């Protein structure tokens, strides 16, 4: 199947700093990408839908000014956690959704483990 990569795979930062996570679709064009957050022993929670060339759509309760999403090309979406705090520590996962696809064609990245000290 198609491959989605994330970088970095893990990051540790100090409270108050900003962290950027990259999500790349390696062999397909992803007009839509989704960003999820997963706390330990919990399920994936959708944070936002990122559409190439337009503003991201955020789920209820997700602060758009804190979690900045940029989808500047068909193969790259970035999530920037601004002024990170310990409660933002989580596993962040993205998925790529090619045009014309549905459900079974949403390909997930390997995730990024963020730890905020």
Partner 1 sequence: GESVGLHLPTLSVQEGDNSIINCAYSNSASDYFIWYKQESGKGPQFIIDIRSNMDKRQGQRVTVLLNKTVKHLSLQIAATQPGDSAVYFCAEIPGSNYKLTFGKGTLLTVNP
Pull the structure tokens for residue 83.
């002024």
> Can you count the helices (H) and strands (E) in the chain?
0, 11
By CB under 8 A, name the one of 8, 16, 99, 110 that touches partner 1: 110
Give whichever of 82 and 98 is closer to partner 1, judged by the CB atom. Answer: 98
Task: Tell me: does residue 97 bind partner 1 (CB under 8 A).
Answer: yes
By CB under 8 A, name the one of 18, 29, 39, 46 that touches partner 1: 46
Specify the stretch interacting with partner 1 by CB under 8 A; choose among 13-21, 62-70, 82-90, 108-116: 108-116
Determine the Cα–Cα distance for residues 20 and 98; give it in Å rounded to an integer. Answer: 23
For residue 113, the tally of other CB atoms under 10 A from its CB is: 14
Determine the Cα–Cα distance for residues 82 and 66; give it in Å rounded to an integer. Answer: 5
Smallest distance, partner 1 to C-beta of residue 106, A: 7
Q: Roughly how many angstroms between the first and final C-alpha of the chain, as a whole number? A: 36
- Whether 97 and 30 have beta carbons less than 8 Å apart is answered as yes
Binding mask 25-44 for partner 1 (x = CB under 8 A): -------x-x-------xxx
Q: Name the site residues for partner 1 (rule: CB under 8 A).
A: 1, 4, 32, 34, 42-46, 49, 91, 93, 95, 97, 102-104, 106, 108-111, 113
């Amino acid at each position: 199947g198609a491959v989605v990569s994330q970088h970095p795979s893990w990051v540790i930062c100090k409270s108050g700093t900003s962290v950027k996570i990259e999500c790349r679709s390696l062999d397909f064009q992803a007009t839509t990408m989704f960003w999820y957050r997963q706390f330990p022993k919990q399920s994936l929670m959708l944070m936002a839908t990122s559409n190439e060339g337009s503003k991201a759509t955020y789920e209820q309760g997700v602060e758009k000014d804190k979690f900045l999403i940029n989808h500047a090309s068909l193969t790259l979406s970035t999530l920037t956690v601004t002024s990170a705090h310990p409660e933002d520590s989580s596993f962040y996962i993205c998925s790529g959704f090619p045009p014309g696809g549905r459900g079974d064609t949403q390909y997930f990245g390997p995730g990024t483990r963020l730890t905020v000290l």
